[in-house]
A and B are shown apart, each in its own frame.
Chain A
Amino acid sequence: MSRILIVEDEAHLAQGLRFNLEAEGHSVQTTERGEDALTRLVKNHESFDALVLDVMLPGKDGFTVARELRQAKNFIPLLMLTARGRPEDVLKGFESGADDYLPKPFNLAILIARVESLLRRKDWTRGTGNATERPQQDSDLQDNFRFGDKMVDFRNLQLRAGKEVIQLTVMETDLLRYLIKNAGHPVSRKAILQDVWNLHEETDTRAIDSFIVRLRKYIEPKPSKPRYLLTIRGLGYQFVANPKE
């Protein structure tokens, strides 16, 4: 199940889209205003897997919303939906940061297919999709990753340090992969729950902390003074591959 946010001020369209995407098995939320979507995605770090964004909105229009999202380093898969179908409008949509663009009136099956394709892409890039679905070249983290004197073998779920081999669990590996993938950027506990284990916000985010303690035991020379896996206060965690001495 994926979480989708729809920004559409036309009540009928929003309701119809919601009904159909829910029927496809997704969890859907709607809002009428671009500002509201920005607050939820950027300020509150609410986690969604895809965004369906109308262009002609009251207040900030869809182009502006997309641009501000991307400026805030939020790269949520974004399908832009609009009555303007001229080539220059389509180009403007992509320029402002949309991943896909669909003019109104649209065909329902095509809309659903496009949303699914965005969701699939997100699965691929975050590396938690099924191995069979995942294209080989897509994930450079598939095999192993070196940092310091350690090497993570994602395929065999092992952490090697010199001759020592530590066997990791699937969950530990997934978490480590996610942190390494976002190396240099802090990730929130919520995002970890959502992206790594597909859990929703009801879950206690503190559950992650015990995983972090374990990972630190494996990878840190001094677990009490972490250098690779840092706690960012108020935000979450951040992986640093090449810490400064």
Chain B
Amino acid sequence: MRITRRTKAMAFFIVLGICLVALAVALNVSWIIFHWRQVVPLVLGIILFGLLITGMVINTIFLVREIRRNEQQDSFLNAITHELKTPIASIRLYLETLTSRPLDEAQRREFYQVMLEDTDRLLGSVEQVLRASQVRQGSGRQNWQEVDFASMVREALELARLRQHLSTEMLRFGTEPANGITVLGNEEELRSAVLNLFDNAIKYSGEKKSIVVDILAPNIDTVSLRVIDRGMGIEAKELKRIFKRFYRAPNSVNGQVKGTGLGLFIVRSIARRHGGDAYAESQGQGMGSTFTMRLPRIYRA
């Protein structure tokens, strides 16, 4: 219901914008017809009307964009509410169960384990939101140090496997990464970017998880992390948009996957802050996708 109301508002403003522009064009044309012999009013009129028309067009475009962004923030708010409340609901449920029912030792342990996983998830969501606002503000190059990229990625991969209960086959290195690749940056941020890439690939893989990770060093001053999944894929026109804050591709919103729309934004922001970039490739829906994060590398002889 909310969405149709928004769509209606958007349609209204687009129509209004078009009408105003048409009116201005009509006035402009009649002005030209009436004044075509007088050079000064003619030139002045054309310039002024031109300004008016451009202003209106720009205004309409911005308005529509703003409405869209509002919509995305709304769905983000929904998603983050869900992400925060679900683990809390779960922890509370288990705590109440523990206090109100007689349980044997094994069950007790199992419930503690469940609650621990929930707190991890809660912490993850909170960190994600904080990270997203942090990378936007950009805290400069504080705490930058030399990071052993390959071992950092290896650690992140093992962590992701453990957290998501994945087998070695589901998330693995294509070729064992070479050692001695060093990147200058904030290790915590870089790890967060890498983990986000992994989480993303896992989330959008569906049932048939087969994710291959490669570290490539195409030349002396660049290192790339490439994550290939065989998941649901991305439509060509979405390839750039998915890195925008709060943006979620329509097939993931309507369909199967929950998310906040922050993950890839964080990846790209962190990559750019370190002088690199992140991009996605895909043959289309259902064809899987490849994400690459490129970073500058410091070379030591």
Contacts and interface: CB of A to CB of B under 8 A. Distances in A.
Contacts of B114: 12, 15-16
A107 B96 CA distance: 8
A10 interface: yes
A207 interface: no
Interface stretch (A17-25, A67-75, A135-143, A214-222): A17-25
B100 A56 contact: no
Contacts of A107: 92, 96
A105 B89 contact: yes
Contacts of A104: 85-86, 88-89
Interface string B76-114: 001001100111111011101100110000000000001
Contacts of A108: 92-93, 96-97, 100
Given A83-B82, A83-B89, A16 B255 contact: no
Nearest to A106: B89
B118 interface: yes
Chain A, interface size category, equals 20 to 34
B97 A12 contact: no
Interface in B147-196: none
B1 interface: yes
Given A12-B118, A16-B97, A58-B258, A84 B90 contact: no
A56 B258 contact: yes
B93 A13 contact: yes
Interface residues of B, number: 24
A42 B44 CA distance: 71
B4 interface: no
A109 B89 contact: no
Which of A16, A58, A109 has the largest count of B CB atoms less than 10 A from its CB? A16
Contact of B94 (A16, A23, A58, A109): A16
B97 A83 contact: no
A40 interface: no
B90 A19 contact: no
Nearest to A24: B101
A83 B81 contact: yes
Nearest to A95: B1
A106 B93 CA distance: 8
Interface in A77-95: 83-84, 92
A84 B117 CA distance: 23
Interface string B205-241: 0000000000000000000000000000000000000
A59 interface: yes
A84 B89 contact: no
Given A16-B94, A58-B255, A10 B86 contact: yes
A23 B103 CA distance: 11
B38 interface: no
A106 B82 CA distance: 14
A83 B80 CA distance: 10
B142 interface: no
A13 B78 contact: no
Nearest to B82: A83
Which of B87, B90, B97 has the largest count of A CB atoms less than 10 A from its CB? B90
A101 to B, nearest CB: 15
B97 A58 contact: no
B205 to A, nearest CB: 14
A17 B93 contact: yes
Contacts of A15: 114
Given A12-B90, A12-B114, A58-B257, A105 B97 contact: no
A84 B82 CA distance: 8
- Which 9 A-B pairs give the minimum distances between C-beta atoms? A105-B89, A108-B96, A104-B89, A83-B85, A16-B93, A12-B90, A58-B256, A83-B82, A105-B92
25 contacts: A10-B90, A12-B114, A12-B118, A13-B86, A16-B114, A17-B93, A20-B93, A20-B97, A20-B101, A23-B101, A56-B82, A56-B258, A58-B255, A59-B255, A83-B81, A83-B85, A84-B78, A104-B85, A105-B85, A105-B88, A105-B89, A105-B92, A106-B93, A108-B93, A108-B97
Interface of B: 1, 78, 81-82, 85-90, 92-94, 96-97, 100-101, 114, 117-118, 255-258
Interface of A: 10, 12-13, 15-17, 19-20, 23, 56, 58-59, 83-84, 92, 104-109
Given A13-B90, A108-B100, 9 more contacts: A15-B114, A16-B90, A23-B101, A56-B82, A56-B258, A83-B81, A104-B86, A105-B89, A108-B92
